[in-house]
Structure 1
Amino acid sequence: MASLEFESLDELTAHLDAGGHLRNAVLQNLDLRAVRERILAADPRGAVFLGCTMDAATRTALWDHEALIFPPLPGLPYQPYRAALYDGRELYAGFDPDTPDSYAETLDGRIYRHWQQTGGAEPATLLEALARRLHDLSITNALDEEVRRHERLVAVMGGHGLARTATRYRDVAHLARTLTRRGYVLISGGGPGAMEATHLGACFADRSDDDLEHALTLLATAPHYTDRRWLSTAFDVIDRFGLDQERPVSLGIPTWLYGHEPPTPFASHIAKYFANSLREEGLITLARHGIIFAPGGPGTIQEVFQDNAQNYYETLDVVSPMVFLDRDFWSFTRPAYPLVRQLAMNRRYDPLVTAVDTPEEVVTFIERHPPLR
């Protein structure tokens, strides 16, 4: 039996209007002051209240019903009990493209500053550690809900340093656009470089070749994420092409561990984590229809072997394609491909491993090699 979860007051009141009970229900980040009597009358035995606003009398009455109450946590720039994924407009609210330094006062900038001031990767207090874990649990829950709406997820891994002017950046944008047009949902680590190109391509799935070329030309004026106008040019493209109004779904999964790398606002949904390990494992696990590895450094290579181990040991119910984009790079510059090829011999995922050089080859291989269950 599915558990009862309520993430909006409209959902809750509709349930109560229909005569529903609240036994063992989970209510997340809701202001309950206007529905106090209705909640108490709906049998809230064993219900869980995450960060909900209520008065002291309601709290006492719920305790009498053996409800579990996680109180709001004050003084944080982030909401530990959030009910939805982020998007670019929320993370960058207040950003002025004409004043790039305004990033510091955006939600993303304030959370990153708070992360640095409270111990970085090693939270300075137990309360901060708890708040971050509650936040990441909420993000995972929201991500799971979004993923359940889509069947064919493909990830792109690759270096954050890939310039917007690079041939491989353009290649990733084109393959992502084609895969999105063919019904796949693209996911990435949600940062700059190859990750940004993934979501740019997905954004332009319903646009013309000329539109994508125009966007690439605009972005090329700030080719690196360290350039002062990197984020400004991204929002210039979003505004010029009206991408806020409608864009295909793509999922960016960045982390504040790499908070110096701003998340790309081209992703329609952003699952930003504090814990990088959760983020990396999630990326690899979700991409059941394959992972495309664009050129990258140690982080990308780590992801190659995480994915390889998942396929080798068949830790999930499927084995999935591994596509290396740029044969020479993955065979000689960073020779991960020959080792993966050797490890895959006589394993079920052997036919699912390849190295290619063009976006067209990537798309063809993904389409012809669905995951093996």
Structure 2
Amino acid sequence: MEIEDLDELDDHLDGGGSLRGLRLQHLDLTAYGDRLAEHDDLRGLVVLGGTVPADVAHALQVRGAILFPAVTDAPVDPWRGLYLPQELYAGLDAGGYAATPDARAYAWSVDARLRTDAYCTLIRAIHDDAVTDELDEFVAGRSVVGVMGGHALARGSTGYAAAAGLGHDLAEAGHLVATGGGPGAMEAANLGAFCRDRVALSEALGRLERVPSFRPDVTSWASLALQVRQTIVGDEPPAPTDTLGPSARSLGIPTWFYGHEPPNVFCDVVAKYFSNAIREDGLLARCTGGVVVLPGAAGTVQEIFQAVTPLYYAREEAPLPPLVLVGRWHWTEQLPIWPALQALARSRRMAGSLHLVDDLDAAVARIAT
């Protein structure tokens, strides 16, 4: 049993329940030394990060608890889980993108001295597992629709506006819109879902045109986006990530593996991973409502075949969410993926889940059905 907030811990302690088998994750246990010490046998209790003063740690350890300490010498807290976009970009105004937690985490992950260091590898693994754990809770009970597409799509372009409209329509239909969390088509779809009405979306699109791309200056690209995001959300303080699931419309799942692609800020929350393999599988596996694929290049092609594989091998009784490719010429001529998908689908149940359309309204309709 995982306990992730102090109210839940108080309820458990007040109820007199056993502490064996509990996982206390990312909690401040400063005031809990005496209450925990009332239990003589704490074998099976595991404390994962958080704040644990020396006296509390001693009281836990002598009674058999296992403590995984907080990490202070890495640019990430491996126990924290999901991020708010503004947390990844903290310090942007003062020191530029290079000073942000996002940029520092990427630099740390590719540091040749640390990439194979067992301690750093463990931190990255714990971090990604904590992200997965909270992400599962965040999407529980939701219809999640993935929108895939290239990172090069520029703000101000017709394609960018169309992708934003797609994200908005899907969110209005009650879906949680999930993307790879990067720039281009991903940012556009997240933006559309994040905006609660078409007026706000139109105004945001107009303002974002001033900085069309994250190249060559991520700082300007992200600074403008954060200003636009603040206009959309107003002055309300950001809600904790663990309270947003039922009301969220926009989810980004990026990776530090692609460090050249900064995360976009138009997400309710960001699930950012070090491992791209875990991130890719986790993104597509959670798209219970289907996947819409906009024109893209190698990364998008990879995502198509990752989405197709579980459709191909699905059990007879398993529901098959739709996979909708947008852009007939792109997917049959420029990158002829569609013929390969049709060949794979021949005489298989997955054939009914594959769709090729030219119109985004048709894409939304395929998801709705």
TM-score w.r.t. length of structure 2: 0.90
- Distance in 2, matches of 1:181 and 1:328, equals 29
- Distance in 1, matches of 2:162 and 2:184, equals 12
Among residues 40, 44, 47, which one is paired with 2:45 in the alignment?
A: 47
Q: What CA RMSD, in Å, does the superposition of the two structures yield over aligned residues? A: 2.1
Verify the 8 A CA contact 2:36 2:60 in the aligned structure 1.
Answer: no
SS of residue matched to 1:258: coil
Indicate how the Cα distance of structure 1 residues 56 and 88 shifts in structure 2: closer, same or farther if over 3 A, else same. closer
- Distance in 1, matches of 2:234 and 2:192, equals 12
Equivalent residue, structure 1, for 2:337: 336
Equivalent residue, structure 2, for 1:281: 281
Equivalent residue, structure 1, for 2:206: 217
SS of residue matched to 2:145: strand
Matches within 5 A, 1:154-169: 154-169=145-160
TM-score w.r.t. length of structure 1: 0.89
Does residue 111 (structure 1) correspond to residue 105 (structure 2)? The answer is yes
Indicate how the Cα distance of structure 1 residues 31 and 239 shifts in structure 2: closer, same or farther if over 3 A, else same. closer
Equivalent residue, structure 2, for 1:81: 79
Q: CA deviation at 1:244?
A: 6.8
- Distance in 2, matches of 1:95 and 1:10, equals 34
- Distance in 2, matches of 1:235 and 1:332, equals 38
Verify the 8 A CA contact 1:288 1:318 in the aligned structure 2.
Answer: no
Indicate how the Cα distance of structure 1 residues 317 and 26 shifts in structure 2: closer, same or farther if over 3 A, else same. farther
User: Once the two structures are superposed, what CA deviation does each residue of 1:63-119 show, in whole Å capped at 9, x if it has no partner?
Assistant: 34332221223311111111x4101111112222xx7x5222222122122223355
Return the letter of the residue paired with 1:51. G
Among residues 4, 20, 27, which one is paired with 1:23 in the alignment?
A: 20
Q: Which moved more, 1:6-15 or 1:50-59?
A: 50-59
Report the number of matched residues.
356
Verify the 8 A CA contact 1:238 1:244 in the aligned structure 2.
Answer: no
Indicate how the Cα distance of structure 1 residues 144 and 314 shifts in structure 2: closer, same or farther if over 3 A, else same. same
Q: CA deviation at 1:296?
A: 0.7
Equivalent residue, structure 2, for 1:265: 265
Among residues 60, 65, 83, which one is paired with 1:67 in the alignment?
A: 65
Q: CA deviation at 1:270?
A: 0.4
Return the letter of the residue paired with 2:300. T
- Distance in 2, matches of 1:183 and 1:54, equals 41
- Distance in 1, matches of 2:75 and 2:339, equals 46
Indicate how the Cα distance of structure 1 residues 236 and 305 shifts in structure 2: closer, same or farther if over 3 A, else same. same
- Distance in 1, matches of 2:284 and 2:156, equals 27
Does residue 33 (structure 1) correspond to residue 25 (structure 2)? The answer is no
Q: CA deviation at 1:317?
A: 3.9
Equivalent residue, structure 2, for 1:95: 92
Equivalent residue, structure 2, for 1:139: 131
Q: Which moved more, 1:71-80 or 1:190-199?
A: 71-80
Verify the 8 A CA contact 1:46 1:65 in the aligned structure 2.
Answer: no
Return the letter of the residue paired with 1:107. P
Indicate how the Cα distance of structure 1 residues 68 and 198 shifts in structure 2: closer, same or farther if over 3 A, else same. same
Return the letter of the residue paired with 2:154. A
Equivalent residue, structure 2, for 1:11: 8
Verify the 8 A CA contact 1:202 1:248 in the aligned structure 2.
Answer: no
Verify the 8 A CA contact 1:249 1:269 in the aligned structure 2.
Answer: no
Equivalent residue, structure 2, for 1:201: 192
Verify the 8 A CA contact 2:288 2:321 in the aligned structure 1.
Answer: yes
User: Which structure 2 residue ranges, 5 or more long, are not aligned?
Assistant: 239-246
Q: CA deviation at 1:232?
A: 1.9
Indicate how the Cα distance of structure 1 residues 64 and 318 shifts in structure 2: closer, same or farther if over 3 A, else same. farther
- Distance in 2, matches of 1:248 and 1:28, equals 23
Q: CA deviation at 1:345?
A: 2.0
User: Which structure 1 residue ranges, 5 or more long, are not aligned?
Assistant: 369-373
Equivalent residue, structure 2, for 1:291: 291
Q: CA deviation at 1:60?
A: 4.2
Equivalent residue, structure 2, for 1:254: 254
SS of residue matched to 1:251: strand
